[in-house]
Amino acid sequence: MTFTTEHLEAYHRDGYVIVRNLFSREEVDLLYALAVNDQVLRQKTYARVDASGLQTRLALWYTLDNSLYSKFARSARIVSAVEQILGGKAAHYHSKLMQKEPRTGGAWEWHQDYGYWYKNNGFLFPDMLSVLTALTPATQENGCLQMIKGSNKMGRIEHGFSGEQVGADMEKVDEALKIMPLEYLEMGPGDTAFFHCNTLHASAANLSDKPRWSIITAYNLATNKPYKDIHESSYTPIEAYTGNLLTEAAAGISQEADFLVK
């Protein structure tokens, strides 16, 4: 499957779009097996506590290296789509491996990614998006993404803290839900969601007996250089990866990948 004109139109209309089977089951199984056994990644993983006290575990890094994770982030399948969306050269802001474990994985409160990136990181323009690829099935039962369709058109709204997370002004969220549809993004391994940095999204806790793991990369228009953030990757154009993910060595992540430390 590739990113089409219809996908692009849906993205701009709804604030997000899913491309089914953008990666094969074999490709995501390879990445998932690597991630589960990656000792560096395990050491760099930290927890975020939601409003109810449950934890979601994640590792976040800024630097692209020669790992399989970076080859996914640089995949021409994603980068070409991101550059169509942004209308220019894409830069890698950060990647993260989300790990919602069975019965204990916490919720993510309603938020816009740009609500944080604007205030804390100094990106002046919302020329940014996130791309999530499911490594395991994502369902309502295990806390899949929820999106408010069309909420990207609301612009940036104010955010504050909810638990250890940054959450959107719930008065605005409640009003948005009265007039815009809520969609649960149920996805199979290899399905990939592209979503605008101003699209309101959340996810419920994983109280099922199945894990929900995904890899998410945030992309920025290379000319949208932040005035606070110090990571050069956020304004350095990406060199797209066109190799075969299945035949090249599946390297784990480097200790020098510039991890976010909590």
Residue 119 lies in a domain: yes
Domain residues for the domain of 71 are 5-235
* pLDDT recorded at residue 250: 87
CA nearest to 15, candidates 193, 228, 164, 166: 193
Q: How far apart are CA 258 and CA 249, in angstroms?
A: 22
- pLDDT over 90 at 163, yes or no: no
- Mean pLDDT for 13-32 is 98
- Residue 117: which CATH number? 2.60.120.620
CA dihedral 165, 166, 172, 173 (to 10 degrees): -40
Residue 259 lies in a domain: no
Residue 251 lies in a domain: no
Each residue's pLDDT tens digit, 199-227:
999 999 998 999 999 999 999 999 999 99
Each residue's pLDDT tens digit, 80-111:
999 999 999 999 999 999 999 998 878 888 99
Residue 250 lies in a domain: no
**Amino acid found at 81:** A
Each residue's pLDDT tens digit, 48-81:
877 778 888 999 999 999 999 999 999 999 999 9
**Amino acid found at 23:** F
Domain count, the chain: 1
Residue 253 lies in a domain: no
Tokens 């909810």 identify what position?
A: 162
Distance between the two ends of the chain, CA-based, in angstroms?
Answer: 37
Each residue's pLDDT tens digit, 178-199:
999 999 999 999 999 999 999 9
Residue 149 lies in a domain: yes
Mean pLDDT of the chain: 94
Residue 247 lies in a domain: no
* pLDDT recorded at residue 111: 93
* pLDDT recorded at residue 157: 92
Residue 144 lies in a domain: yes
Length of the chain equals: 262
